[in-house]
Amino acid sequence: MRKAIFLDKDGTLIVDVPYNADPAKIVLERGVGTALKRLSAAGYMLIVISNQAGIAHGFFTEDAIQGVQDKLYELLLMEGVKLDGFYYCPHHPAGKIKAYSKICECRKPGPGMLFKAARQLRIKLSQSWMVGDILHDIEAGNRAGCQTILIDNGNETEWDMRLDRIPGFIADDMEAAAAHILSTGNNLAYEQQRISDHR
């Protein structure tokens, strides 16, 4: 069994441009290359877990996602990082495109994509981490039995901290997230302060 870092894409790995499928507009978030290189060297698989409701809404097609995926792989390869997987949910309960308009198991905050990746790639979820910029990512990770880190970069605005949405750790950026994963977790007091600040 292997261990993985499950990574939200928009606002976590790349700068969030809502419903963007244009590869030219894809830019890595700060510190992502360095952070992922360290995590990969420590034996973690790197797997993208992304909601792409823009497909259900009819903003772009699944073909366009291939272009996004290729560009992300390319940008990370230039940083010396190889992604091990890319999972996305094309659905939305209120989508315009019939085939994708449904309540599904995969859309975060549901844990379906993590379960699927774990099954296909033989990943031990309890030794893996979900990292994202909103609490939907955290809920998906928690419900899958992973450890979780919220990148607090301003993208979460509601702070609905019901029990299964509480992050295990809050980090300023991907580098801080990687440092936490690779450390013994001695930032705990600081961390609990950050969580209570948001209550």
Query: Which parts of this chain interact with Zn ion (CB under 5 A)?
Result: 89, 91, 104, 106-107
Can you tell me whether residue 137 is helix, strand or coil?
A: helix
Q: How far is the CB of 12 from Mg ion (least distance, A)?
A: 5
In the complex, which residue's CB is closest to Mg ion?
11
d(CA 8, CA 14): 9
Residue with tokens 């995590």: 39
Minimal distance, residue 23 CB to Zn ion, in Å: 23
Do the Cβ atoms of 109 and 140 come closer than 8 Å?
A: yes
Q: Is 16 a catalytic residue?
A: no
Task: Please say which residue, 110 or 167, places its beta carbon nearer to Zn ion.
Answer: 110
Candidate residues 5, 7, 11, 65; the one interacting with Mg ion per rule CB under 5 A:
11
Q: Which of 4, 6, 10, 91 binds Mg ion (CB under 5 A)?
A: 10
- Distance of alpha carbon 47 from alpha carbon 130, whole angstroms: 9
For residue 101, how many other CB atoms are within 10 A of its CB?
17
Active-site pick, 10, 63, 152, 197: 10
Amino acid making up residue 50: S
- Where residue 100 falls (left for φ over 0; alpha for ψ -120 to 50; beta otherwise) is alpha
54 lies in the site for Mg ion, by CB under 5 A: no
Residue 133 interface partner, choices Zn ion, Mg ion, none, CB cut-off 5-8 Å depending on type? Mg ion
- Tell me whether residue 56 or residue 150 sits nearer to Zn ion (CB atom): 56
CA atoms of 1 and 123, how far apart (whole Å): 5
Cα separation values, 42 from 39, 46, 116, Å: 5, 11, 23
Residue of 14, 35, 31 whose CA lies nearest to 183: 35
Known catalytic membership, residue 10: yes
Member of 6, 8, 115, 130 binding Mg ion (CB under 5 A): 8
Query: 144 near 136, Cβ under 8 Å?
Result: no
Contacting range for Mg ion; rule: CB under 5 A; set: 4-12, 22-30, 112-120, 144-152: 4-12
Stretch that binds Mg ion, among 2-10, 25-33, 83-91, 167-175 (CB under 5 A): 2-10
CB closer to Mg ion out of 8 and 175:
8
Question: Could you tell me the smallest distance in angstroms from the CB atom of residue 136 to Mg ion?
Answer: 8
Nearer to Zn ion, 29 or 139 (CB): 139
Residues labelled as active-site residues? 8, 10
